[in-house]
Amino acid sequence: EDKVVQSPLSLVVHEGDTVTLNCSYEVTNFRSLLWYKQEKKAPTFLFMLTSSGIEKKSGRLSSILDKKELSSILNITATQTGDSAIYLCAVEMYNFNKFYFGSGTKLNVKP
Amino acid sequence: DTEVTQTPKHLVMGMTNKKSLKCEQHMGHRAMYWYKQKAKKPPELMFVYSYEKLSINESVPSRFSPECPNSSLLNLHLHALQPEDSALYLCASSQDRGQQYQPQHFGDGTRLSIL
């Protein structure tokens, strides 16, 4: 059975801390892994990862995929209260327009 | 604001009503999706349209009926819904899967309440 597991489920940190969010997957015909940030409305796209070992960066956020370990991490450095959100990991299956979402990690950054 | 537009933003309906959710994108994407998201849960895939044809139906009850009139529009027709169908309904679109990797873009969703 295909599945995507995120950890931790929730996390409380203080501004300035660095956090690491995890996503592991077991799917047939893996094509790509995506990270999204969801606040009150639609998930907003952060990263799409297709190749193992290549880090993608956007400001204080970075992410990397490990196809051998079937996992990915999302790092956020120097966290700010605006980073408070649910971070969703989704895995896309090859040859299908099909995306499986993990349960998400709820991040709360306190001032 | 997102590039995927969903209307209405909120909808309250009775169990005997018939209503429709609408989704529109003008990014030239050829795959469009409907997701259902309950509170504190991740989005669950319902339907996928690829080149205006239904390619995936994740065993969704027939009281939900999708329609893709053209490459820019996606509808979800609702009839005889149950209270447990109350949720945020998200539409998304993405580029042709046969081409370069492209992520999904989500609309802001329609928050549906069934009385």
pLDDT digits (tens, 9 = 90+) for A70-86: 999 999 999 999 999 99
Q: Answer yes or no: are the C-beta atoms of A85 and A37 closer than 8 Å.
A: yes
Task: State percent of chain B over pLDDT 90.
Answer: 67
Report the distance separating Cα A90 and Cα A61, nearest Å: 17
Let me know if A56 is exposed, middle or buried by CB neighbors in 10 A (0-12, 13-18, 19+): middle
pLDDT tens digit string along B72-86? 999 999 999 999 999
Residue range A33-42, pLDDT digits in tens? 999 999 988 8
- Name every chain B residue with its beta carbon within 8 A of the beta carbon of A93: none
> Could you give the C-alpha distances from A39 to A105, B9, B96, in angstroms and in order?
12, 16, 27
What pLDDT sits at residue A41?
80
Residue pair B19/A79 in contact (Cβ under 8 Å)? The answer is: no
Whole-number Å distance between alpha carbons of A28 and A51: 16
pLDDT at res. B70: 92
User: Tens digit of pLDDT for each residue in B8-46?
Assistant: 999 999 988 899 999 999 888 988 999 999 988 899 999
Question: What's residue A53's pLDDT?
Answer: 86
Residue A22 has pLDDT above 90, yes or no: yes
Enter the tokens of residue A23.
């996503």
Measured between beta carbons, which residues in chain A are less than 8 angstroms from residue B48? 97-98
Paired tokens of B72: 């820019």
Record: contact A44-B42, CB cut-off 8 A:
no
**For an interface test with B, which of A47, A99, A105 has the most B Cβ atoms less than 10 Å from its Cβ?**
A99
pLDDT class of B98 with cuts at 50, 70, 90: low
Which of B45, B102, B107 lies nearest to residue A98, judging by beta carbons? B45
Residue A14 confidence (pLDDT): 97
The answer, for A30 touching chain B at a CB cutoff of 8 Å, is no
pLDDT of amino acid B95 = 83
